[in-house]
Structure 1
Amino acid sequence: MAVSLKHRPTQRTTAAADWRALGTGVRLVVTDPALLDSCNLLLARHLAEVDAACSRFRQDSELAALDTTAGRPVQVSPLLAEALSVALHAAEATDGAVDPTVGSAMDALGYDRDFTLVQEDDRPVRLTVQRTPGWRTVHLDRATGTVTVPPGVRLDLGATAKAWAADRAATLLAEAAGCGVLVALGGDTAVAGEPPAGGWQIRVQDITGPVDETPAHGSYDCVGLHGGGLATSGTSARRWRRGDQNLHHIVDPRTGLPVRTPWRTVSVAAGSCAEANAASTAALVKGAGAERWLTRMALPARLVSQEGLVITTPGWPTNPRGAGNCATSSHRPAAA
């Protein structure tokens, strides 16, 4: 699907709901205010199903059950099979920069529970370079609905599952309600159905926190999203300290350690939120030259360096700050 980013004022009336699920902020916006409550109920049900299938932090989740399969092929639900398929496709599309086999590395860094609990734990960790097993070690047979995970390999779908859940929810709700729908899960936003006039106005910012608390001098853009998805990944939003180590949640599969990158945040627009998320996360891992990779992929993107320098790729609106009304949704760094 082609992605069109423009900036015109929003005219159609919308209604929004904000809450939390999957360890992040949830924002639902619909173009028919009368349908907001029913859409919100459907969204809550969908996200609960995703959590039960894909959570790395729930012992009763389907994903956690794969830890005990000892390399045997096991049947999984269609929902988990779809999430795994998206994760493996993201790994292939990014040359392994986004890899679902980083679960054990995340655990070793102390990110083994909900992030609010991670922040409260100050036990030291020992950082050692250890390449992750690699996504090619995982076999998914979509025809039989079976998955084979080698012994000792722990999966983490955090880099793709939220974006995929946003895509799936936006499409389901738009079809059910017959109106335009925006679903934002942290830094991942998907839209479906007929958009408001001028598109879904989204503020893309580089400083974590509510829009009204963002300094006036902070770096941000306001863009209109007409279809597909938009994702922002960064190394500043989810950080924690263990002993004398400052850590963050973007792991380099080549080392199993938090990535060292010249980019503070990367925002990407694509035909789906899952594609945008994979590309924005991969850009952080790829580091220097990521803007050239995104250009070759024909993905509109906005990269902000650690020093605050903003670089954009073809297709990203030039000088859009302050253009139009950015009230529909706010995009800030969040977990990938």
Structure 2
Amino acid sequence: MRTTTAAEWRALGTTVRVVVTDPALLESCNLLLARHLAEVDAACSRFRGDSELAALDGTGGRPVQVSPLLAEALDVALRAAETTDGAVDPTVGSAMHAIGYDRDFTLVREDDRPVRLTVRRAPGWRRVTLDRRTGTVTVPEGVRLDLGATAKAWAADRAARMLARTAGCGVLVSLGGDTAVAGEPPAGGWQIRVQDVTGPVDEIPGQGPYATVGLHGGGLATSGTTARRWRRGGQELHHIVDPRTGLPVRSPWRTVSVAAATCADANAASTAALVEGTGAERRLTRRGLPARLVAQDGTVVTTPGWPTAVREAAA
């Protein structure tokens, strides 16, 4: 039986967890992961004025050469937009800024100034052009990008593959609950708890139903409206924005968990399900994606492929 050991810390404004099947390699994997996430932050952060992504705001619609890392992150974001028919759209940056999510979340919660909520459709991902051959990006004037819906999941995928290849052991990387695994898994798979509210893995959730599943490969992501909530001037807000309105989505689901070939695919599908609302479970079924959806009243709905012998409990 493979023994696992883990480390947990913070980066990219969220909790980072890395688990390896060879305890002797944990420290070196941690160092490699920290360097990788620092590079991702410098390329993709919406909250850093010196990031590559922020520099695209002032390009005025001119083609700009970007680093291979940012080009890859944009490619993943645009592919997610295409596969979800725009339910996940990287051009919601201005909408996120308008609802007050314009800085690290710990600072967002401390700001109680009122915001004016206005229905305004996102410009649309088709207006952004990425030339994959030359690595140039064209962002129209007035369009602000936000990779928050895809970047952490993509970074988890990339990190898990890199660490497993370098260390030669099984690796799990979780960034705020977006989880990717690579290499040989432990016996029974990687045991992952899915729940309504993000919290320490060694603590039973204080509210909402939760379940533990075994993941043997690919990725698993949970998107929800119960975490990352804040109040501004009496308005209750959260971080899942509907590109059709530019406002926090109103969904019959409070959390959606999806397993897929990659964490990026799982995250795009789970976020899209919240935006799509009623009937999302049927669309996930048609795509062959195992999923667990929790309705606002706590009712749990699963799609074919989600393990039937899962340990499910109500907090």
Query: Taking structure 1 as the reference length, what is the TM-score of the superposition?
Result: 0.91
1:244 aligns with 2:244: no
**CA displacement 1:144-198 (0-9 Å, x = unmatched):** 1100000000000000000000000000000000000000001200000000111
1:148 pairs with one of 111, 130, 138 = 138
1:269 pairs with one of 254, 259, 264 = 259
d(CA) in 2 for partners of 1:74, 1:66: 8
1:103 aligns with 2:103: no
Deviation at 1:276, TM superposition (A): 0.1
Q: Which residue of 1 aligns with 2:288?
A: 298
Q: Which residue of 2 aligns with 1:196?
A: 186
1:175 aligns with 2:189: no
Deviation at 1:78, TM superposition (A): 0.2
Q: Which residue of 2 aligns with 1:84?
A: 74
Q: Which residue of 2 aligns with 1:112?
A: 102
Task: Tell me if the contact between 1:183 and 1:189 (Cα under 8 Å) persists in the aligned partners.
Answer: yes
Count of paired positions: 313
d(CA) in 2 for partners of 1:150, 1:92: 18
Deviation at 1:216, TM superposition (A): 7.1
d(CA) in 2 for partners of 1:58, 1:172: 25
Task: Tell me if the contact between 2:60 and 2:140 (Cα under 8 Å) persists in the aligned partners.
Answer: yes
1:48 aligns with 2:48: no
Query: What stretches of structure 1 of length at least 5 have no aligned partner?
Result: 1-10, 324-336
Residues 1:135 and 1:267: Cα distance change in structure 2 (over 3 Å): same
Task: Tell me if the contact between 1:75 and 1:147 (Cα under 8 Å) persists in the aligned partners.
Answer: yes
Task: Tell me if the contact between 2:208 and 2:298 (Cα under 8 Å) persists in the aligned partners.
Answer: no
Q: CA RMSD in A?
A: 1.3
d(CA) in 2 for partners of 1:53, 1:37: 25
Relative contact order (C-alpha < 8 Å, sep 6+): which is higher? 1
1:38 aligns with 2:28: yes
1:228 aligns with 2:218: yes
Task: Tell me if the contact between 1:207 and 1:214 (Cα under 8 Å) persists in the aligned partners.
Answer: no
1:121 aligns with 2:111: yes
d(CA) in 2 for partners of 1:253, 1:168: 27
SS of 1:101's equivalent in the other structure is helix
1:321 aligns with 2:300: no
**CA displacement 1:223-253 (0-9 Å, x = unmatched):** 1100000000000100011101000000000
Deviation at 1:204, TM superposition (A): 1.0
Task: Tell me if the contact between 1:30 and 1:182 (Cα under 8 Å) persists in the aligned partners.
Answer: yes
Deviation at 1:214, TM superposition (A): 3.4
Deviation at 1:206, TM superposition (A): 1.8
Q: Which residue of 1 aligns with 2:127?
A: 137
d(CA) in 1 for partners of 2:130, 2:14: 28
Deviation at 1:215, TM superposition (A): 4.9
SS of 1:233's equivalent in the other structure is strand
Task: Tell me if the contact between 2:197 and 2:207 (Cα under 8 Å) persists in the aligned partners.
Answer: no
Q: Which residue of 2 aligns with 1:310?
A: 300
Which is worse superposed, 157-166 or 195-204?
195-204
d(CA) in 2 for partners of 1:133, 1:174: 39
Task: Tell me if the contact between 1:208 and 1:236 (Cα under 8 Å) persists in the aligned partners.
Answer: no
d(CA) in 2 for partners of 1:206, 1:74: 40
Identical amino acids, percent of aligned pairs: 83
**CA displacement 1:297-332 (0-9 Å, x = unmatched):** 100000000100000000001141179xxxxxxxxx
**CA displacement 1:96-123 (0-9 Å, x = unmatched):** 0000000000000000000000000011
AA at the equivalent of 2:256: V
AA at the equivalent of 2:300: V
Q: Which residue of 2 aligns with 1:286?
A: 276
Deviation at 1:210, TM superposition (A): 2.9
